[in-house]
Structure 1
Amino acid sequence: MLSRASILSGRQVRSLVAHTTKACSATSSPATKDDGPMFRRPVRQEPGKVRLGFVPDEWFTFFYKKTGVTGPYTFAVTFSTYLISKEIYVMEHEFYNGLSLAIMWIAGIKILGPKLAKYLDKEIDDYESQWNETRTVNKDTLQEAISDEERNQWSMEGQNMLIQAKRENVALQLEAAYRNRLLAAYEEVKKRLDYQVEKQNIERRIGQKNLVDWVVKKVKASITPDQEKQNIDSCIVALGALASKA
């Protein structure tokens, strides 16, 4: 008797697990921008609604379209009566043992069930919060790493600008050195040209002085003492005339 009940209860548990798994996969959260286009993050499902403490509510609502609200209870009573009347389900001593165990089980569920459920829910919430906290910490760490990488890329752009500025400074220095060398060459050429001009001017002055000296010397050599005396007398007469006029 107990073996039959255990077999039936095992089948019910497996069907309930399969139904819950199917509902979990069907109601999983859609893909978000952070999770990626091909990944759906599963959401922890709450237990489905049950009646009589263990029977899924879907088993009752299945009869509503055909039999109404009282249909599931009528089916359970008639089917149980059929099994008992045909002695398919025999009420031997194991039945009463199972009945007493069921009463103890129901009493334990009613008394300890809420406290145990509250404790287990709290443990599940703590476990889930720990996972979420770990996920949040990892996400913050990765976000910080991304920010550091972006900052490093920005720094590399600044390094490129600095290298370009240094190249421009070197080009300006080369241009300044080139212009300084042009100025130095200009000054040296000007000095040499000024030297040649000054040299020609000196040669011209020396030649002119020598020519004047030679002419004066020749003129003096051509004047006789009588001519010189006559020139002096004529000069004296001219000076006297000028003195008388004054």
Structure 2
Amino acid sequence: MLSTLAVKKLMPKAFSGVRVLSITPCRQAAAVAQSSDAQVAKAQPLAQYEDLYPSSENIPISLEEKVANWKRANEIFFGPERDLKNFPHPVMPVTVAETYHFGIIPTRWFKALYPKLGVSGGYTVTLGTILFLLSKELFVLTYETIELIALFSILNAVRWKWGDNIKNFLDRKQKEKMDFLYHTPLHEATKGYKTELTQINTEIERKEAIPTIFEAKREQVDLQLEAEYRERLANVYATVRNRLEYQADLEHTVRSFEQTHMVNWIVNSVKKGITPQQEKDSIASCIRTLKGLSATASI
């Protein structure tokens, strides 16, 4: 029923708006044109001041510039010129060792009132405030007040009795949560990044060692080529020497053969030219010479 009434009330308004839009498009166009002209007219006096103010657009910064900015900020806050002994970095404590009076009023409030009100100043202000509220009936005592006092007493007793245990339990749970959500993932990510950095540094060292390795391999190839060249040169020398020695031996053999043949031919020719009578006379002459030599030797 309510939805039907709402539709009956809202539909005419919606269609009336559509009718106006459909009937008066020219008026709307004129209104839009007038508003745009007014905006342009307002913007023209400000255009002359655009050069005096910096642009609010994001200025693109390269990765090298970002790294340089981080290094410069690190040198300013953590560099050697920073006096960390006299001006250390502020550290936000995780927990604050706070003590309370009446279970809810911090002790530091009493210490702040001590210079002007003395030791009993904090108690006087507390009890006086309570009495003021009661006397002016700003705080009315009802049965709920007794329940509030009882509840406050029970909670205060629980805090005094098991407050440290509850605090330690909650701190332990918070620490486990922080370890699970932040510290452990951060440690694992840091460990993984260190491993990746080690691998990247190893690859960088390998890349830097490539020219040295290439030079060593080139020298090794040059030594191999030099050794091969010297071996082939020695083979050529040995081959040429063997051929020269063969040629020399050949010529020596031919000469020796010719000489032997010449000697044999001369000897045979001489033997053929000696007659038997000349041979006998020669033998007899040799015998006489030997006899003369023997006689001379005996004397």
TM-score norm. by structure 1 comes to 0.59
Residue 146 (structure 1) aligns with: 194
**What is the CA distance between 1:128 and its match in structure 2?**
0.6
SS at match of 2:103: coil
Query: What root-mean-square deviation, in Å, do the aligned CA atoms of Structure 1 and Structure 2 show?
Result: 4.4
Residue 52 (structure 1) aligns with: 102
Q: Which amino acid aligns with 1:65?
A: P
Identity of aligned pairs, percent? 26
Q: Which amino acid aligns with 2:156?
A: K
Alignment partner for residue 126 of structure 1, among 160, 169, 173? 173
Gaps of 5+ in 1: 1-35
Residue 82 (structure 2) aligns with: none
2:162 is the counterpart of 1:112: no
C-alpha distance after superposition, 1:39-97 (max 9, x if no partner): 98854213622211111223222221122112223334445555555x3x4454xx323
For 1:128 and 1:192, how far apart are their aligned partners in 2? 95
Residue 177 (structure 1) aligns with: 228
Counterparts in 2 of 1:137 and 1:147: CA distance versus 1, 3 Å: same
For 1:91 and 1:149, how far apart are their aligned partners in 2? 67
Is contact 2:133–2:139 with CA below 8 Å preserved after alignment? Answer: no
Residue 58 (structure 2) aligns with: none
For 1:128 and 1:41, how far apart are their aligned partners in 2? 18
Counterparts in 2 of 1:126 and 1:150: CA distance versus 1, 3 Å: same
Residue 125 (structure 2) aligns with: 75
Gaps of 5+ in 2: 1-76, 79-88
C-alpha distance after superposition, 1:80-139 (max 9, x if no partner): 555555x3x4454xx323431332122221343333652353132133145347735853
SS at match of 1:45: coil
Number of matched residues?
Answer: 205
Alignment partner for residue 142 of structure 2, among 96, 113, 120? 96
Counterparts in 2 of 1:81 and 1:103: CA distance versus 1, 3 Å: closer
SS at match of 1:44: coil
For 2:149 and 2:134, how far apart are their aligned partners in 1? 20
Q: Which amino acid aligns with 2:288?
A: V
Alignment partner for residue 114 of structure 2, among 44, 64, 68? 64
Equivalent positions of 1:1-246 (< 5 A) are: 43-46=93-96, 48-85=98-135, 87=136, 89-90=137-138, 92=140, 95-113=141-159, 114-115=161-162, 118-129=165-176, 131-132=178-179, 135=183, 139=187, 142-143=190-191, 146=194, 150=198, 167=217, 173-220=224-271, 223=274, 226-241=277-292
TM-score norm. by structure 2 comes to 0.51
The higher relative CO (CA closer than 8 Å, separation ≥ 6) is in 1
SS at match of 2:244: helix
Counterparts in 2 of 1:240 and 1:82: CA distance versus 1, 3 Å: closer
C-alpha distance after superposition, 1:10-55 (max 9, x if no partner): xxxxxxxxxxxxxxxxxxxxxxxxxx96x98854213622211111
Counterparts in 2 of 1:81 and 1:62: CA distance versus 1, 3 Å: same
For 1:65 and 1:243, how far apart are their aligned partners in 2? 163
**What is the CA distance between 1:184 and its match in structure 2?**
1.8
